[in-house]
Amino acid sequence: MADRRRINGPAGATIPPVFDDASTRGPKSIKSRSRPANATRKMYLKTGVTPSASGSAYLEIETSATPGVSGLKLSCSVHGPRSLPRSAPFSPHIVLSTHVKYAPFATKQRRGYLRDPSERDLGIHLEAALRGAIIADRWPKSGVDIIISIVEGDQDRETSQLQGDEVWDMMNALGGCITVAAAALADAGIDCVDTVAGGVAALVQDAGEDSIPTVVVDPIPSEHEKILAACCIAYLPTRDEVTNLWFRGDLPASDIDLYTNLVEKGIQASKNANRVLVGCLAETIQ
């Protein structure tokens, strides 16, 4: 059933272009990380991109050194606090609603117009991360909408389709979403206990199957041979609290410390993001 509220393309399905691999780049197989294991990429954060919204922010994470690999670009706007619709039941505290949507041109594969399960998933994780930071009982009977458009995903344009990287891309996207939403919430003047920021750490296996896995912060899937596990952490630095932890992948059961180590690194990445966030907000105040 075609969507009659949009202009639909041709009746027959279109296929994304297939590239001939005969003339592919030579050094494609060599995947290497361009940064030290515990360094995050540079990010650019700016508030007030949508003047008509209560608060808004734009986040851009630096493009990696490999050509064709785009950085994450996110735009977030916050509307509210505003009164809940008349149909909504009574709520003693603020009701957060989060929407995360990829732009149709954000990733290698064209995204649909309707939110898919992974986008809904991102929204739920984001909500959990922010709920712990907002002082919710200051606004009874009101709601706030947090809308994030992922303008460009963190993906390698050159790699062929379907490498199973999507799940790891989602981790990075969530980390960015949390940071940008926190900035937009602060811009909207919604009271929070602290500025929350997202950070990602991963356990990667860079040199073949039998090598010893290492823990890195802010991983880019295209820069690593294999990602075994990753976690995305939303962390409040002054309170030393974690509001959301999303863990995915396999950890060898033999090493208990590995998990703690991974979380530790995630917090470190989150602290880095927080520094940028605080710097950006301080700049806005001046």
Query: Among residue numbers 111 through 140, which ones bind other proteins (CB under 8 A)?
Result: 113, 115
The reply to whether 84 sits near other proteins by the rule CB under 8 A is no
The reply to whether 29 sits near other proteins by the rule CB under 8 A is no
Q: DSSP assignment, residue 250? A: -
Q: Is 268 exposed, middle or buried (0-12, 13-18, 19+ CB in 10 A)?
A: middle
Buried b (16+ CB within 10 A) or exposed e, 176-192: bbbbbbbbbbbbbebeb
The arrangement of strands across the sheet holding 241-249 comes to 214-217, 197-205, 226-236, 241-249
Q: Select 107 or 244, whichever has its Cβ closest to other proteins.
A: 107
Q: Specify the DSSP class assigned to residue 129.
A: H
CB of 259 to other proteins, least distance (A): 34
Residues 214 and 206 sit within 8 Å (Cβ to Cβ): yes
138-167: contacts with other proteins (CB under 8 A): 145, 147, 149, 151-153, 155, 157-158
Residue with tokens 């939303």: 234
Token digits of residue 140: 């009874």
Provide, rounded to whole angstroms, the least separation between the CB of residue 76 and other proteins: 8
25/253 with CB nearer other proteins: 25
The 1-20 contact track toward other proteins, x by CB under 8 A, reads -xxxxxxxxxxxxxxxxxxx
Span near other proteins by CB under 8 A; candidates 63-71, 129-137, 214-222, 271-279: 63-71
Among 24, 32, 160, 260, binds other proteins (CB under 8 A): 24
Rounded distance, CA 266 to CA 154, Å?
18
> Among residues 221, 219, 245, 210, which one has the least CA distance to residue 231?
245
- Minimal distance in Å, beta carbon 103 to other proteins? 5
Closest to other proteins by CB, 155 vs 272, is 155
- Give residues in contact with other proteins (CB under 8 A): 2-20, 22-25, 49-54, 56, 63, 68, 70, 73, 75-79, 82, 97, 99, 101, 103-108, 110, 113, 115, 145, 147, 149, 151-153, 155, 157-158
